């Protein structure tokens, strides 16, 4: 990530009120208010719409997806049984880039997406370069053999990202090499390490 991209992510983190990367955590702890000269000024009370919009933007940012992608997954969640908001997060969590991040193979969701796009990841032994690929219980994600000597994956194999990532969720099991992970079952919303009031996201799209 370039210095410009890093600054942009830090500013977005402060605007959304959640740290999106390990670097943003440090800035958020020092300046826990929105960016800009009026960041610390008292702001008017938020409307229902602004609260809904904020939660939708938070969810998008944590998965690094476009509005059209989130809207499409929401449409799928509506057709499932169960609480729409919970199903929405569960479907997003089964994206390949999200699983690569949770496994500690990447440090950020942007790095996880880049890892997939650059053809370093296999699913059940077959190369997959689509970050939005949705995994199913029983499938195994691994780093390609020819990529394992690259520095980012050597660091990942040594558990070098775990200090800035949440604990491995119970719906995943990590291989002994640190570069493979199996999806044991469908995730449940309380297990997913995402900061978002999904009920407000549902209200936003249901308007």
* pLDDT tens sequence for the chain (207 residues): 555 555 666 677 777 887 777 655 655 555 555 555 444 555 666 799 999 999 999 999 999 999 999 999 999 999 999 999 999 999 999 999 999 999 999 999 999 999 999 999 999 999 999 999 999 999 999 999 999 999 999 999 998 887 788 899 999 999 999 999 999 999 999 999 999 999 999 999 998
Alpha helices in 17-164 (DSSP H): 22-30, 48-63, 67-79, 84-93, 96-102, 109-117, 151-157
Kindly give the interhelix angle for 48-63 and 3-16, rounded to the nearest 10 degrees: 140
Query: What digits encode the pLDDT tens for the residues 94-143?
Result: 999 999 999 999 999 999 999 999 999 999 999 999 999 999 999 999 99
Residues of the chain with CATH 1.10.1050.10: 48-94+191-207
Domain spanning 48-94+191-207: CATH 2.40.37.10: no
Q: By C-alpha distance, which of 149, 52, 144 is closest to 60? A: 52
In angstroms, what CA-CA distances link 26 with 19, 31, 129, 152, 176?
A: 9, 9, 32, 22, 31
Q: Check if the beta carbon of residue 93 is closer than 8 Å to that of residue 137.
A: no
CA atoms within 13 A on the CB side of 34: 11
Enumerate the CATH 3.10.290.10 domain ranges in the chain, comma separated.
Answer: 95-185
What pTM did the predictor assign?
0.85
CA distance 108 to 61: 11
Q: How many residues does the chain have?
A: 207
Pick the CATH number of 95-185 from 1.20.1270.30, 3.10.290.10, 2.60.120.10, 3.30.450.20: 3.10.290.10
């Amino acid at each position: 990530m370039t210095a410009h991209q890093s600054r942009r992510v830090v500013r977005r983190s402060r605007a959304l009120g959640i740290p999106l990367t390990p670097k943003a955590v440090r800035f958020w702890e020092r300046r826990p208010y929105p960016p800009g000269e009026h960041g610390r000024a008292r702001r008017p009370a938020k409307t229902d719409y602004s609260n809904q919009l904020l939660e939708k933007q938070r969810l998008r940012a944590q998965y690094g997806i476009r509005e059209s992608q989130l809207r499409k997954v929401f449409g799928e969640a509506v057709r499932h049984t169960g609480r729409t908001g919970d199903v929405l997060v569960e479907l997003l969590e089964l994206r390949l880039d999200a699983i690569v991040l949770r496994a500690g193979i990447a440090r950020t969701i942007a790095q996880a997406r880049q890892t997939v796009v650059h053809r370093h990841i296999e699913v059940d032994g077959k190369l997959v370069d689509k970050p939005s690929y949705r995994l199913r219980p029983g499938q195994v994600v691994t780093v390609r053999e020819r990529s394992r000597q690259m520095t980012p994956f050597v660091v990942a194999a040594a558990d070098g990202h775990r200090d800035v990532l949440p604990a491995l969720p119970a719906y995943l099991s990590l291989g002994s090499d640190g570069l493979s992970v199996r999806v044991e079952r469908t995730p449940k919303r309380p297990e997913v390490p995402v900061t978002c009031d999904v009920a407000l996201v549902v209200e936003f799209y249901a308007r």
